[in-house]
Each structure stands twice: as structure tokens, then as C-alpha cells.
Amino acid sequence: MSDAFASEFEDLFRATYRAAVRRVRDKRERLSPETIALLDHLAAAGPLTAGELARHIDRAPSTLSEMVDHMVDKGLLTRDRDPTDARRSLIWLTNDGQAALLEARTVLDLARLAAAARGLTADQRHALLEALRALVTQLKGEDR
């Protein structure tokens, strides 16, 4: 039974993914992996100076400066004066940068999932979420 369950779950998971994956219609709107990594790093580390950021992501300061300039122009990053040292600027995510990072991390089309879920009863939605939570808990327990 477990093997049959696992096989059917995998088939249904793949079908769900294929049907609900978020598609970016205009590839120019997609952030590059390097941009996502830089935004991710800033989100985790907090505001950094250009030198600190260059060391953290192992990039030459000139390369990093070009990347940051481009992202500032796109409204994803901002440079603010360091309150402790006015000679330095801190690089940080703008609200648009935070939203773009969140969107880049989103794998599934949430609007499409929500629309499909409206075709289920409230009890079916609840049961589905409860079952998935229980499965995730079991999977996490096996990691220990």
C-alpha cells in the first residue's frame, strides 16, 4: 500500500505542479539567478555597505557597483547614508525589491490555485490542507 500511495502521490504532485506552476509571460520580467541571490543575501544579512556586500557575495567591487546601480535604477535597491558614518552608504532592499524577491520565490500561481480551490467544498479544502500538513510533519519526523 505504501508503494502504491507514494507512486500515486508523486503522479498527482507532478500533475498539480504542471497545472499550477507560475509562468512568467515576459522573460524580461524575470529576475536573474544572480539578482535573486543578491536580494536574498541582503534580505538575510540586512543593510550592508558596498564593500561588505562585495565580500559577502565574492564579487569585485566594480562588478558589484554595476549590479547595484542597475538594481537601484530598477527600484529594487536603495542606497542610504549610514547613520553611524555619513561617509558610507548602506545598500538595502526597497519595498519593490522585497516584493520582487517574494514573487521570485513563488513557485506556484496562487491565483490559479485559489480559483481551483473555489471548486472544492470548504470541508474538502480543510481536509486537503490537514492531510498535507500531516504528511509534511511525518516527512520531517523521518529526517531526524
Residue-wise pLDDT tens digits, 67-112? 999 999 999 999 999 888 888 899 999 999 999 999 888 889 999 9
CB 93 within 8 A of CB 68: no
Residue 143's pLDDT is 60
- Residue 120 to residue 39: CA distance in whole angstroms: 37
Mean pLDDT for 102-124 is 93
Residue 134's pLDDT is 95
Residue 99's pLDDT is 93
Residue 106's pLDDT is 86
Tell me the β-bridge partners of 90: 80
Instruction: For residue 111, give every residue at least 6 positions away whose Cβ sits within 8 Å of its Cβ, in sequence order, or none.
Output: none
Task: Flag whether pLDDT at 11 surpasses 60.
Answer: yes
When pLDDT is cut at 50, 70 and 90, the band that residue 137 belongs to is very high
Q: How many domains does the chain have?
A: 1
Query: Which CATH number fits the domain that encloses residue 100?
Result: 1.10.10.10
When pLDDT is cut at 50, 70 and 90, the band that residue 28 belongs to is low
Nearest to 89 by CA among 97, 75, 98, 78: 78
Residue 144's pLDDT is 57
Instruction: For residue 17, give every residue at least 6 positions away whose Cβ sits within 8 Å of its Cβ, in sequence order, or none.
Output: 107, 108
Residue 2's pLDDT is 72
Nearest to 102 by CA among 36, 11, 13: 36
When pLDDT is cut at 50, 70 and 90, the band that residue 24 belongs to is confident
Range of the domain at 57: 2-143
Please state, rounded to an integer, the average pLDDT across all residues of the chain.
Answer: 90
